[in-house]
Amino acid sequence: MPYKNPERKKEWERVHRAERLTRRRELRWTQATEQATRPVATRESSGVVSFLVPLVAGGAVAAYSPKLGMGASGLTLAIAAVYKKDWRWWIVGVVILALSLFFYWNEKNAAESWSGDANQPN
């Protein structure tokens, strides 16, 4: 549509004005309907909350039941490996595993010390 003569260009634009407006209206309508039907993508929050919430929840599970904590940390590490997650998943899995092992060891030693006191001679 680039014309060397500006008068011919103005004439063409005047003649085809209704067609151009209709086409623009159709494009805007199509774009609006596509945006309305397209689901909103979830944002990946990279804040501190998205890191601390699983860590605190995993620590609570590890304190409540160390074996369940070990299972949860193993699952977290497996998901991190299979789906190639970022370093935060690995850190959460390792920390929960360490907490689980600590609580498991602590419960085991506490049980041994209680049973060991009754069997020891004075």
Q: Residue ranges of the domains in the chain?
A: 6-37, 49-116
pLDDT at residue 44, rounded to an integer: 60
Residue of 25 and 120 predicted with greater confidence: 25
Please give the Cα distance from 99 to 76 (Å, whole number): 14
pLDDT at residue 82, rounded to an integer: 92
Flag whether pLDDT at 50 surpasses 90.
no
> What b/e string do you get for 22-41 counting C-beta neighbours within 10 Å, with b at 16 or more?
eeeeeeeeeeeeeeeeeeee
Across the chain, mean pLDDT equals: 84
Q: What is the mean pLDDT of residues 53-58?
A: 88
